[in-house]
């Protein structure tokens, strides 16, 4: 099992290098495995797709969910070439895989110019104090949609 895990991580690292060398985005790769088989793989494609959410983990999660025809990755393992950023961390939790393995740390990424630490700090700030100010509006109107969701009999709970 350990040898297989090393093989999957090496594949994620190779994807990171491949994407970087193609100038698709930063040096990040991801492989998603279920029952010992790779079901999805991706490298960072932010600059290639002009999509700030096209991180390797997010792209791989989208591919895996499409392949499995589900919105959750129960029974899967994620192999990321680097510790996931806050966005990918959130996406991973929503996808609910069984386990995540990563190679480089977020400190290693910061040394290479990918410092997401400021995002962790921004989350704890008040809406107005953030670098990108957040302002709530039309709360009552939006809450009525949540009220409708609560009583919707045919909803897909996730």
The C-alpha atoms of residue 67 and residue 62 are separated, in whole angstroms, by: 9
Give the integer Cα–Cα distance in Å for 146 and 62: 26
User: Is 83 annotated as catalytic?
Assistant: no
Distance CA 101, CA 2 (A): 12
Catalytic annotation, pick one of 57, 83, 107, 141: 57
User: Residue 33 is inside which H or E element, if any?
Assistant: strand 29-34
User: Please, are residues 130 and 118 in contact by the beta-carbon 8 Å criterion?
Assistant: no
**Beta-sheet strands, E only, within 36-127:** 37-43, 76-82, 99-104
- Catalytic annotation, residues: 57
């Amino acid at each position: 099992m350990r040898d297989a895990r090393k093989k999957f991580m090496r594949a994620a690292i190779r994807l990171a290098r491949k994407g970087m060398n193609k100038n698709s985005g930063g040096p990040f790769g991801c492989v998603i495995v279920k029952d010992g088989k790779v079901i999805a793989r991706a490298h960072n494609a932010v600059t290639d797709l002009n999509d700030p959410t096209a991180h390797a983990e997010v792209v791989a999660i989208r591919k895996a969910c499409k392949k499995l025809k589900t919105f959750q990755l129960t029974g899967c393992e994620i192999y990321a070439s680097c510790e996931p950023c806050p966005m990918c961390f959130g996406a991973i939790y929503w996808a609910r895989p069984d386990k995540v393995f990563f190679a480089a740390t977020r400190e290693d990424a910061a040394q290479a110019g990918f410092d997401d630490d400021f995002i962790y700090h921004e989350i704890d700030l008040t809406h107005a104090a953030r670098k990108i100010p957040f302002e709530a509006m039309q709360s009552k109107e939006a809450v009525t949609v949540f009220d409708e969701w609560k009583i919707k009999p045919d909803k897909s709970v996730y």
